[in-house]
Chains A and B, each alone.
Chain A
Amino acid sequence: MINITIDGHKIEAKKGETILQAARRNGHYIPTMCYLTKVKPIASCRLCVVEVEGVDGFILSCQAPVVEGMEVRTDSKELFGHRQNIMKLYDVNHPLECGVCDKSGACDLQNKTLEFGVDAQEFSAKEHKRDLRKWEFIGYDESLCILCEKCVHVCNEVIGDDAIEIHFGGYGSKIQPKGSEELECTNCGECIAVCPVGAMISTDFQYKANAWELERVPASCAHCSAGCALYYERRHTGALDGGSEPKIFRVTNEFEFNTLCGAGRFGYDFENRVENRDEEAFKRVVEAFKNAKTIRFTSRITNEEALILQSLKERFGYKLVNEEALNFSKFLENYASMTGKTLYNGSLESLADSDGVIVVGSRILTDNPAVRYHVTMASKRHNARVVYMHPMEDLQMKNVVTQFVKYEVGTEEGVLAMLARAMLKDKVDIKKIESFLEELDEGYLSAESNVGEEELEEIKNSLKRCKRISLVIGEDCINHPRSANIAKLAALFERFGNLNVLPVAPKTNSLGVSLICDLDEEAEGETIGYNAPGDCVLSSIGGGDLDMPALNQQEGTFTTLDKRVVPTNAALPYGGYTLLDIANAIGLHGRYTIDFTSKLPEEKGFKHVDFDDIPYYFSNREGEVRGYELKRLKHSVDSTLDEVEELPEFNGPVLYRCDPVLQFGPLTAKTSQLGKERPTLFGSSQFAIAAKLKEGMQLKIRVGGVEMERVFTIDPDLKGTIALNPTYDLGLSEDLLSSLYRFSQSKIEVVGQTNE
């Protein structure tokens, strides 16, 4: 600890902290315009200058570290004068269009202009024509831009797109797409989030509402297992929309502390608008429940709903079928039997803090944006060596990846075994694991997986000096036929290598469901489908036998891949029946769904805590405080590893189940901003030759019994004979594919040719 004084108050600062960080943590105010907590100091606004006793001139507090005994003054007449002058400069020729500016009311420039009493413009500068750009989701108004550079920094340091840059030119400086004429990025919209003024805007939200009219509903994102914190910002619709219904106008995030991808930000209107209870339908469904033996459901439900389903099973003996969550629970079970503890040790925070990262079995850019951002942060903050192992190279990850290792489709088990041998051989002190590693037939594994000894050697060498290594295990491993042994192999890295191992739960609440529900292997008898196909279907995307509330219409919790139980709240009303209503009708007695929050199983690591007592706030002292972490519990140990099975061979064209960026399934597909995308099979020109396809062909594809129509497009960034096949558009049928190994050799039938 370092003792310093700020404005006469003694405070304890942390070593390596800046003056501004120490001040903020301790509740002392220093004005800034360009400071963004989650990136390196930008140092462009100069408002944060302070006086330090004994030092000549003013010191930039966002960048200067604390020094023992330092006496800081954050305010004085002179400081105020300079800050006021800086605000005068910021205000020169800034368009007086606050009345129609999206940012008005939540604008840093407005706030600081008032704070420093700038009420007149005493000098001006010659103006020139300023850009007004509009891309798909993101717009940029140069005349409103104050060039704080927050957008540029967040895009590069947190997201990893590095898609925008400053065009330098003094007064003519502006933000522009980097390396291309038009903006080419993953459309996360963080640039909009961090913009302190109305320069970077959501093209959809523009002119729709004022900041002060919107009510913020704190929630957790429903799209993937990162469950990021977000606010649904709602208001009643206006006269133009023909009504006074509550409506979500946009999604925002606490951008100082957390980050949101474009699916969370732009894909929010997936609600299932139901005004009244359909009693007839309800009765039919209750009857169906009485006849049914099985409930099939997806992992896009809350923990509480999962517990209701589990209670129904316990009470009435339903089979609970969710193959994807079952795969994950088996993965976790096998993992735990190797480490002797439930769950896993990795987390997003430890990932971002790593100086070495290995990713196996995931197309990380689209699979889980939060994981990708944390890999980016590791790369940028710690110059992490990033080893990316996958059958397909992802060129968009190039700026963070230091070594790409291509392995053959299906060989994940062999690859992980060889990796374990290369990295852990000298560290294992259990005889049978030692001999397992020793006896691996490396010649065979290497030949079949196409991962060479030199590549493994290079991985080992490049990670040699790393002190904090993370291993990210993707869905390709979890939904692999050999998942059980793969889990045990992955666990070796935690147990012997001291690596942080982070399995990426495939769906929003896969982890919660796999812990809460005692899942069955097979369905039997009549099946109720909850957001899944069945003889009687309950659906939150509409079109089923009974409507259900969508995840933005529900209270409850998710269990994220970060092993945290996080709360979400209802942003929109729902007039119909809920799962609990049905459960009650058939004999369960619950008052509110969230009454189940405190009943989540302690023996799985949950806490008996009421929904309303789960924290959800942000502060300068603690950052994001949301939910609670699951407890890792003791587990019996079984150090037996299966021999690596003969590696499968996939010859010829292969399809990889992979949604494009921002798509995660029926929810995103349903939203107005994200739903316009046409489902496309993306392949390389090599794939086109192998599969005898041409650009623009219309295809019919059958994977795992589900038929889908696709248009084929050649992506010049792709190589090899694997194509990316999305499933987000398949509605409830998507569920039938989500537990399958993602690579498949499926029949592709050409049914036509588009004109493009």
Chain B
Amino acid sequence: MARVVFSTWRGESIDNRGKPESEWVESQYKLPEQYEADRNAKAFIGWDGFAIFDEEVDVVRLGTEYAATYQKYSEACGRCAPGRWGGRILYDLMDKIARGEGEVSDLEHLKEVSRTMMETSKCEIGRTVPKPLLDMMEHYEESFMELIEEKRPSKDYHLENIDYIAKVTAPCMDACPTHVDIPAYIEGVRDLRYDDSLRATRQTMPLAHTCGRVCPHPCEDECRRANLDEPISIMELKRLGADYETDHRLEWLHPYQPAKEKIDKKVAIVGAGPAGLTAAYYLGLEGIQCDVYEELPVLGGEVAVGVPEYRMPIDKYNKDIELAKSVGTNFIMNTKVDADMLRRFDKEYDATLLAFGTRLSKKVRAKNEREDMPGYWGAISFLDQVNLWEKYRIGSPVDLTGKTVVCVGGGFTSMDVVRCSIRANAEKVIMLYRRDEKTIIRNTTYEEYHEAVEEGVEFIFHSAVEEIIEDENGRLSKLKVNRFELVPDPDGGRPQLVKIEGADFFIECDYLIPAVSQAADLSLLPEEWELELTSWNTLKTNGRDYMTSRKGLFAAGDCEYGPMTIVNAVGQAKRAASVISRYVRTGEITLTDEEIMEDHLRKLRVYDKSEKVRGWLPGLPRQVSEKLSVEERRDNNREVNLGFTQEEAIAEAERCMRCYYIAMTAV
């Protein structure tokens, strides 16, 4: 909801001009009427219309600036004739009118050029930039005509105290926690320019191998192509650039030239997982020395010791890790950071970033649940042992020959547990899940679930462990399981899970592996710092600059958010690194305009599920990459997903509609 003087956003038609404030109609969209805490916005203009917050706004100047912005930002596009030249003509004609030299025929030319741009441009940016300008010419026609007839410049034309702050986005970019320039990396694939593709990815996402393989791809849920047929296979296209660099043994393709010399600032990072690596990389690119402290004997955090080899081959992940090293990062391994060390960091470093994840397995909350009971095996320590052995030959292998394993979960970690159990030769592997099949697919991915089923995992839905039963030697031997059913709420609310009386059953098993969730181990925090925590016991920040309640101490990734995705950790760490890079220089916590706009647009939502897509041939199937057959993969760690063939990759990339948009706020 936003208070507006006028709005055509998303087809709404609100005109409060000249009305008393009591009769004003509000916009139903979360338009950025307040740019920052202390700065009100005057107007907002974007791909889908414009909104005026301040009646005094000079609309012609606003439109001119928007057209100018398209010129400035067209390096994001500028790839087609109508967009490239049409955009320029739009700007020149708008400016001509705004500076008082316009003719009536210029309006006609504007409309004509707009029409062709909207129908034929390559990217949505070219197709949508004319839209708000046409809206203006329609609803504020008199403002244009006045300038043309009186041959005078628009009232703010020479004013310099208004900021016009613009941002290029796309539905997929908006949905991605790291806001990867997805259309650009897909275009790199389409153009067979994998170096460009990888550089585009690495602007905000250094783990291209990783997030080209194991990202749950929230972007695909907000892919505009879904409005036409099926979403683009965005995640898998990411891996092509990274594979190209690795296959051809190229030098690192950085998004921009790393700083030649280090500046005299140091940052300590706790944890070498996705968040730690990301922050180290971007700070390193800027010439800020990072020391990364890692408890484990290996680098990479949960992706190294949590995600199994068959989903994320370690030699590929090591490439992402080497990239973070390549900018001069110093890794200190086998070092568990404690409160004393943090106190020391506080003095010795210019900033500290906590990125230690959530490495405590939560309990399933059953009767007689004891972590020390033989047969009770936390998911984190189970996966640690599997992965340290399979990937690094550290420790000993997990051998489940002849054993029955029950995992309680429903998320990615539990999928890893059951599929690793299959590969450890377990006789029977059962997954217990409180909710249904549809939900488990939504929480993980369709592929993940089906591959587990194919490999022989037995899923029991609507069930939960009530009690753990031990044998005479105190070893876990049996589980008492309750069954539930989904009962619709007669008042139309969310259906409730209700226990089915008398449907309890027992499962005999050798191991129970709880994989319901993880918690952060906060024992390293110095008590006297009295750091603010969230209600779910993670470090509290404002979710925008990622500084904790202590100045100079930042937190990103799972230890801030709670157990979440890799891409979420990367996104947070990227932002934190940006804030830190300014903080260590100036001592101030600031966001760039780009970041402020990013947050506004996320609130507003770029993706519009109900929008009708024109100008694209519907019904082109989403490409599906080849997977190893069950026989080929069940008993080994070979990567299951073989990736796209070149033909598939190009066909998929050609489905991308390049839905770039420009939004601009006048402040």
Contact = CB atoms under 8 A, between A and B. Distances in A.
Interface of A: 33, 40-41, 43-47, 49, 52, 55-59, 63-65, 67, 81-82, 85-86, 89-90, 92, 122-126, 146-147, 149, 153, 156-157, 162, 166, 168-171, 173, 355, 380-383, 385, 398-402, 465
B92 A125 contact: yes
Contacts of B82: 46, 85-86, 89
Contacts of B115: 82, 85
B650 interface: yes
B75 interface: yes
Interface string B179-211: 000000000001111000000000000000000
Given A56-B614, A92-B88, A170-B75, 20 more contacts: A46-B81, A46-B121, A55-B616, A92-B89, A122-B109, A123-B89, A123-B92, A123-B93, A126-B92, A146-B81, A147-B84, A168-B74, A171-B78, A171-B84, A171-B85, A173-B75, A173-B78, A382-B646, A398-B248, A402-B248
**Chain A interface, >50% SS class:** loop
A499 to B, nearest CB: 19
Nearest to A64: B617
Contacts of A40: 190-192, 650
A82 B89 contact: no
A79 to B, nearest CB: 10
B169 interface: no
Interface in B68-84: 70-72, 74-82, 84
A153 B120 contact: no
B344 interface: no
A399 B617 CA distance: 34
A58 B87 contact: no
A381 B75 CA distance: 27
Contacts, number: 150
A153 B191 contact: yes
Given A82-B120, A89-B81, A170 B87 contact: yes
A163 to B, nearest CB: 13
B81 A125 contact: no
Interface string B595-636: 000000000000000001011111110000000000000000
A395 B646 CA distance: 24
Contact of B645 (A153, A171, A383, A400): A383
Contacts of B619: 67
Interface in B27-83: 70-72, 74-82
A166 B196 CA distance: 11
B122 A43 contact: yes
Given A89-B81, A171-B88, A52 B122 contact: no
B71 A170 contact: yes
- Give the 8 A-B residue pairs with the shortest CB-CB distance, closest first: A170-B74, A57-B615, A57-B614, A168-B75, A383-B646, A85-B116, A89-B85, A171-B88
A399 B248 contact: yes
A355 B649 CA distance: 14
10 contacts: A43-B79, A46-B122, A85-B82, A89-B82, A125-B85, A156-B192, A168-B74, A355-B645, A385-B247, A400-B248
B647 A382 contact: yes
B89 A156 contact: no
A89 B89 contact: yes
B637 to A, nearest CB: 15
Interface of B: 70-72, 74-82, 84-89, 92-93, 105-106, 109, 112-113, 115-116, 119-122, 190-193, 247-250, 612, 614-620, 642, 645-647, 649-650, 654
A356 to B, nearest CB: 12
A59 B617 contact: yes
A157 B248 contact: no
A156 B193 CA distance: 8
A46 B116 CA distance: 10
Contact of A124 (B92, B250, B650): B92
Contacts of B654: 41, 63
B418 to A, nearest CB: 28
Contact of B615 (A33, A56, A162): A56
B356 to A, nearest CB: 38
Contact of A85 (B79, B105, B112, B250): B112
B71 A398 contact: no
A21 B255 CA distance: 36
Nearest to B646: A383
A358 to B, nearest CB: 15
Contacts of A59: 615-617
B109 A43 contact: no
Nearest to B85: A89
Contacts of A171: 71, 74, 78, 84-85, 87-88
A49 B84 contact: no
A402 B112 CA distance: 50
A55 B113 contact: no
B80 A43 contact: yes
B620 A398 contact: no
A44 B80 contact: yes
Contact of B81 (A45, A55, A58, A402): A45
A46 B249 contact: no
Given A56-B612, A56-B614, A383-B646, A44 B81 contact: yes
Nearest to B618: A55
Contacts of B616: 55, 57, 59
Contacts of A47: 81
B80 A45 contact: yes
A64 to B, nearest CB: 4
Contacts of A385: 247
A170 B70 contact: yes
A657 B571 CA distance: 54
Contacts of B72: 170
A398 B618 CA distance: 39
Q: Indicate the member of B92, B121, B649 with the most A CB atoms within 10 Å.
A: B92
B85 A57 contact: no
A77 to B, nearest CB: 13
B23 to A, nearest CB: 38
B169 to A, nearest CB: 17
Contacts of B85: 89-90, 92, 125, 171
A45 B80 CA distance: 6
B120 A90 contact: no
Nearest to B644: A383
B617 A125 contact: no
B72 to A, nearest CB: 8
A170 B71 CA distance: 6
B646 A89 contact: no
Contacts of B80: 43-46
B87 A401 contact: no
B200 to A, nearest CB: 12
A382 B650 CA distance: 10
B88 A85 contact: no
B130 to A, nearest CB: 12
Contacts of B615: 56-59
A55 B642 CA distance: 35
A267 to B, nearest CB: 29
Nearest to B72: A170
Contacts of B646: 355, 380-383
A33 B85 CA distance: 15
Nearest to A398: B248
